[in-house]
Homo-oligomer: A and B are copies of this chain.
Amino acid sequence: MSEKRKIGIAGASGYGGGELLRLLYGHPFVEVVWVTAHQQAGQRVDAIHPHLRGFCDLVCVDTSANPAWDSLDLLFMALPHGESPRLVSKLPASLRVVDLAGDFRLRDAALYRKFYGGEHACFASQKDFVYGLTELQREAVQKAHRIANPGCFATAILLGLGPLIAEDITTGTIIVDAKTGSSGSGAQAKAGTHHPTRDASFHAYKSFEHQHVPEIKQLLYDLNPRWDGGFVFQPHSAPMVRGIFASCYVTLREAWSSSAIQNLYNKAYGTSPFVRLVQGSPNVLWVRGSNFADLGFVVEDRQLIVFVAIDNLVKGASGQAIQNMNLLFGWPEQTGLLIPGACP
């Protein structure tokens, strides 16, 4: 690698941007050269992210500022939902892009309107994006130029359900009960993540209407067009900062042994460096800060429960975005990402 690839980040002040910066500083083949922020334009990156002091002296420019685009090899967009389309419309077609927001994940404009609200500012560009659930889309990502990075819940759930749906071994409605940490709500203070009311709190929200449902169903249908689509997703807020834990309740067409399910997942993920199969239940603590998705299951007769634990900010956002970048550039998928989290 004679020269490092030049990377820009639009939206460096949020948690997605912060994690991109943290991980990219350890990546051997890239250099972050341009970062933007809106409210915090003009500030140094390490004033916004004090844990990064000593690693960079970049200053955020306003998100509306345009760099010499051809000086960038790839742009990460870690903007609030709805802002990516406005930026994409200004980008040269040749620029590689990984978008962490939800704007380019859905191929159906009507579903976008229903789940995200409002019109899409640049829906014509949606077709340029490949949905980047890396382990289930590896070949498509390798050939892609632009990536729509999956949502955090979608990542955990699709890793759990993808191989089952692809093999067509389920029947009836799948129930997914998922739990997320508070960092999933972003870096802006708001009522739902006020410390006194979030600590020691547990509750459900967004029943039947979470915006990750359509991207989950879209990919599951891609994996198996005959899938019947029975799918209930109930997210919950858990009193932790990082982590998604998804419990997926699946009825099998026929009884499977535990070792047969084990084989199925081994076949699906045996060459995927970031999916770790565990006995029984994984734990969000074991993947915190890392790009791993730990997957476990229990099965009794036709009742299967699959558990997936990820760090919502890493495998559920910035880590997977870098994993996809690696494939875009033809590097090994795990480059710069094979780092265990600190535990406990």
**A positions within 8 Å CB-CB of B:** 15, 18-19, 22, 25-26, 49-55, 172-173, 175, 177, 179, 181-183, 187-191, 193-205, 207-208, 232, 234, 236, 238-243, 245, 247, 249, 251, 273, 276, 278, 280-290, 292, 294, 298, 300, 303, 305, 307, 309, 311, 313-314, 338-344
- List chain B residues, Cβ under 8 A from A239: 238-240
Contact A241 B340 (CB under 8 A): no
CB–CB A342/B309 < 8 A: no
Cβ-defined partner of A25 (8 Å) among B240, B284, B340: B340
Which of chain B's residues have a CB closer than 8 A to the CB of A234? 247, 249, 305
Contact between chains at B284 and A240 (CB < 8 Å):
no
Picked from B187, B190, B249, the residue with its CB within 8 Å of the CB of A249 is: B249
Chain B residues positioned under 8 Å from A298 (CB to CB): 207-208
On chain B, the residues within 8 Å of A175 by CB distance are 175, 177, 249
- Number of this chain's copies in the assembly equals 4
Q: 8 more A-B contacts (CB under 8 A) besides A175-B175, A182-B199, A207-B298?
A: A50-B283, A51-B285, A53-B278, A54-B292, A196-B344, A200-B288, A204-B281, A242-B342
Report Cα–Cα, A74/B285, bound state, in Å: 31
Q: Are A284 and B200 in contact (CB under 8 A)?
A: yes
Contact A202 to B290, CB < 8 A, known contacts A189-B191, A208-B298, A344-B196:
no
Q: Which residues of B contact A294 (CB under 8 A)?
A: 50, 53
Question: Smallest Cβ distance from A12 to chain B, in angstroms?
Answer: 14
In the complex the two chains form, is B278's CB within 8 Å of A195's CB? no
Q: Is the CB of A303 within 8 A of B232?
A: yes
Residues A245 and B196 in contact, CB atoms below 8 Å apart: no
A179 touches B196 (CB 8 A): no
Give the Cβ gap from A198 to chain B, nearest Cβ, in Å.
4
Q: Which residue of chain B has its CB nearest to the CB of A287?
A: B51
Cβ–Cβ contact A276 & B344, under 8 A:
no
Given contacts A300-B208, A305-B234, A343-B18, contact A245 B202 (CB under 8 A): yes
Asked if B195 and A49 sit within 8 Å, CB to CB, the answer is no
Could you tell me the distance between the alpha carbons of A282 and B201 in the complex, rounded to whole angstroms? 10
Contact: B202 with A286, CB < 8 Å?
A: no
**Distance to closest chain B CB from A260 (angstroms):** 17
Q: A22-B340, A182-B195, A189-B190 are in contact. Are A201 and B284 (CB under 8 A)?
A: yes
